[in-house]
């Protein structure tokens, strides 16, 4: 006698689970231009690597004889999978089943997925579509009472943020708990035209959407309330992409830089880009005119391993570029000034972005490279209203608290408190400066008239005297004068930057214990 009959029932239940919300609901999902949850898992993970856990969990209906009639699957799928050959926990909300509301499923599945990640030290990827586990008004009638809100298993979400890489993909309208699950991550993505994110639930959003800012339809209202142009510009979500396929590719790429858990070294990749490659264009990259800008992204491409720059948060905090990249195959976290936005001055959002990125690098033990052209914190009434100095000091504190090796390259300006946040001055300064370096407690050019006011007022020819003073101070501010006093460690040929940073990366990872 065998258990073939029971296995037959198991296969039947699995087949019901694979129907998700039913053919009509799945077709409606596809008609919105969205993949269904199972297709998403197949597209995200290495081929045939996803092993589902709790597949047949759901809400069953039985006839009078106790025989199974139907099963509505839980609207949350998870399991163990491989991404780039490495084990992960992969999860996906199923919007075809009551928009993923918790009353349609088993909340324990979501809790178990989060537990699995930190207890087995596996990165977790959340694909969120809908309320993402939040309840609905109908739940109250079903249980016959209201309740004080709580989120079962949120402690595991918090623990994951401390122990493993967490990636969140918003792949549809996400509200309430779904929105919270997007934000509680180390890297998050929205898809333009497909994803929106709201603090409130769908019904509240629907009400606000009526006539919102003259929106001509419901979709436009949702975009104006919580689309990518809102949340990838305010720092709630890191990045936007044009398609779900691109979202999966970026999630996989991000994880390629990360260790599988805090305490494990990230992996070096094979590198065919010579460490001693010298780019002639670096010699003329920084203009002699201090008012002219240049492309820092072009500098990154010339200095870092070819094709490895993975920028994060491109559309917010734009005075600084934050990116993961490689040097001689070693992972590094890059912070770089962007002189094409606000002249590179750090405002509140830029400082917040730098703080978060430095903390990410330190948590996962990835060395930091800082390319500096910082004229200081943004000034003016709007900057004061935004609390720029508080956010700026928080960014500087993050750099001082970081314990991973840090190398800085001063390419041009480094002024004031913001300029001093290039590195931790209390530690060994692994720092190189270009001949275009221009630094100090404040920009001299803007303060000459004030500093020499009495002399200029008494002069027969104030303009001529001002030029004489400027020429005199140009010599004083030469970077070579700073080097004489060992205020800067080394002035280098810009074309040698890559080789020196590759050397730094090797030494940094030696210190971090990588083999």
Residue-wise pLDDT for 422-458, tens only, equals 999 999 999 999 999 887 655 655 555 566 667 766 7
* Superfamily per CATH, domain 280-511: 2-enoyl-CoA Hydratase; Chain A, domain 1 (3.90.226.10)
* Pairing between β-strand 124-130 and β-strand 166-175 as defined by DSSP bridges: parallel
Give φ, ψ of 417 to 5 degrees.
-60, -45
Question: Token match 């020196």: residue?
Answer: 500
In a 13 Å sphere around the CA of 292, the CA atoms on its Cβ side amount to: 8
Residue 209 is predicted with a pLDDT of 46
Contact of 245 with 237, CB cutoff 8 Å: no
Q: 447: which 2 tokens?
A: 């303060």
Q: What is the CA radius of gyration of the chain?
A: 27
Taking 70 as the pLDDT cut, the residues of the chain under it are: 99-105, 131-143, 201-218, 440-453, 456-457, 465-466, 469-476, 515
Contact of 505 with 325, CB cutoff 8 Å: no
Other C-beta atoms lying within 10 Å of the C-beta of residue 82: 16
Question: Token match 């309740």: residue?
Answer: 147
Distance, in Å, from the CA atom of 460 to the CA atom of 312, rounded to the nearest integer, reads: 55
Distance, in Å, from the CA atom of 463 to the CA atom of 182, rounded to the nearest integer, reads: 59
CATH 3.90.226.10 in the chain: give the residue spans.
4-257, 280-511
Q: Is 251 exposed, middle or buried (0-12, 13-18, 19+ CB in 10 A)?
A: buried
For helices 37-44 and 244-257, give the axis angle rounded to 10 degrees: 40
Give φ, ψ of 465 to 5 degrees.
-65, -40
Residue 208 is predicted with a pLDDT of 47
Residue 515 is predicted with a pLDDT of 61
Residue 246 is predicted with a pLDDT of 98
Q: What is the pTM of this model?
A: 0.90
Residue 294 is predicted with a pLDDT of 96
Give DSSP secondary structure letters for 418-484: HHHTTS-TTS--EEEE-TT-EEESS-STTTHHHHTHHHHHH-SSHHHHHHHHHHHHHHHT-HHHHHH
- Dihedral sign for Cα 190, 194, 200, 201, please: negative
Q: Which helix (H) or strand (E) segment is 171 a member of?
A: strand 166-175
Other C-beta atoms lying within 10 Å of the C-beta of residue 283: 13
Distance, in Å, from the CA atom of 237 to the CA atom of 185, rounded to the nearest integer, reads: 9
CA torsion angle for 91, 93, 97, 102 (degrees, to 10)? 100
Residue 214 is predicted with a pLDDT of 52
CATH 3.90.226.10 fits 4-257, yes or no: yes
Distance, in Å, from the CA atom of 129 to the CA atom of 198, rounded to the nearest integer, reads: 12
Q: 274: which 2 tokens?
A: 């010579």
Distance, in Å, from the CA atom of 308 to the CA atom of 362, rounded to the nearest integer, reads: 20
- Rounded to whole angstroms, what are the CA distances from 124 to 267, 463, 475? 18, 65, 56
Residue 471 is predicted with a pLDDT of 67
Distance, in Å, from the CA atom of 96 to the CA atom of 18, rounded to the nearest integer, reads: 12
Distance, in Å, from the CA atom of 311 to the CA atom of 95, rounded to the nearest integer, reads: 30
* Pairing between β-strand 51-53 and β-strand 76-83 as defined by DSSP bridges: antiparallel
- Rounded to whole angstroms, what are the CA distances from 167 to 16, 85, 189, 277, 332? 29, 17, 8, 34, 19
Distance, in Å, from the CA atom of 85 to the CA atom of 69, rounded to the nearest integer, reads: 40
β partners of residue 52: 79
């Amino acid at each position: 006698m065998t258990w073939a009959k029971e296995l037959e029932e198991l296969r039947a239940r699995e087949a019901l689970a694979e129907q998700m919300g039913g053919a009509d609901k799945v077709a409606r999902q596809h008609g919105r231009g969205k993949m269904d949850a199972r297709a998403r898992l197949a597209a995200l993970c290495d081929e045939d690597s996803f092993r589902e856990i709790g597949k047949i969990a759901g809400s069953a209906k039985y006839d009078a004889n106790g025989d199974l009639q139907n099963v509505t699957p839980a609207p949350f799928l998870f399991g163990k999978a491989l991404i780039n050959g490495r084990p992960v926990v992969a999860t996906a909300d199923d919007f075809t089943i009551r928009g993923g509301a918790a009353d349609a499923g088993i909340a324990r599945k979501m809790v178990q997925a989060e537990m699995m990640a930190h207890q087995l030290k596996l990165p977790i990827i959340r694909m969120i579509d809908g309320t993402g586990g939040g309840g609905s008004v109908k739940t109250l009638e079903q249980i016959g009472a209201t309740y004080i809100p709580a989120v079962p298993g949120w402690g595991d979400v918090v623990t994951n943020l401390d122990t493993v890489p967490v990636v969140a993909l918003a792949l549809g309208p996400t509200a309430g708990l779904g929105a919270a699950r997007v934000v509680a991550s180390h890297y998050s993505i929205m898809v333009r035209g497909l994803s929106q994110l709201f603090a409130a639930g769908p019904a509240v959003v629907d009400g606000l959407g009526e006539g919102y800012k003259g929106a001509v339809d419901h979709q436009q209202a949702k975009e104006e309330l919580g689309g990518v142009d809102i949340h990838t510009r305010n720092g709630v979500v890191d990045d936007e992409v044009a398609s779900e396929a691109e979202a999966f590719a970026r999630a996989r790429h991000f994880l390629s830089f990360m260790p599988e858990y805090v305490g494990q070294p990230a992996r070096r990749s094979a590198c065919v880009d010579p460490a001693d490659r010298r780019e002639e264009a670096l010699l003329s990259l920084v203009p002699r005119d201090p008012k002219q800008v240049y492309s820092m992204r072009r500098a990154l491409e010339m200095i870092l391993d070819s094709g490895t720059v993975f920028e994060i948060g491109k559309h917010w905090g734009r005075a600084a570029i934050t990116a993961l990249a490689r040097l001689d195959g070693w992972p590094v976290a890059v912070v770089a000034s962007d002189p094409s936005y606000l002249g590179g001055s750090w405002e509140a959002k830029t400082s917040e972005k730098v703080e978060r990125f430095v903390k990410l690098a330190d948590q996962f033990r990835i060395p930091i490279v800082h390319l500096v052209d910082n004229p200081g914190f943004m000034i003016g009434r709007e900057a004061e209203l935004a609390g720029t100095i508080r956010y700026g000091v928080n960014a500087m504190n993050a750099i001082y608290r970081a314990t991973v090796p840090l190398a800085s390259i001063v390419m041009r300006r480094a002024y004031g408190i913001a300029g001093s946040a290039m590195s931790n001055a209390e530690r060994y300064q692994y720092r190189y400066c270009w001949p275009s370096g221009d630094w100090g407690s404040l920009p001299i050019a803007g303060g000459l008239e004030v500093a020499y006011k009495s002399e200029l007022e008494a002069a027969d020819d104030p303009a001529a005297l001002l030029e004489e003073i400027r020429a005199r101070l140009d010599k004083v501010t030469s970077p070579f004068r700073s080097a004489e006093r060992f205020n800067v460690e080394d002035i280098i040929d810009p074309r040698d930057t890559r080789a020196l940073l590759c050397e730094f990366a090797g030494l940094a990872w030696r210190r971090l214990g990588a083999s």
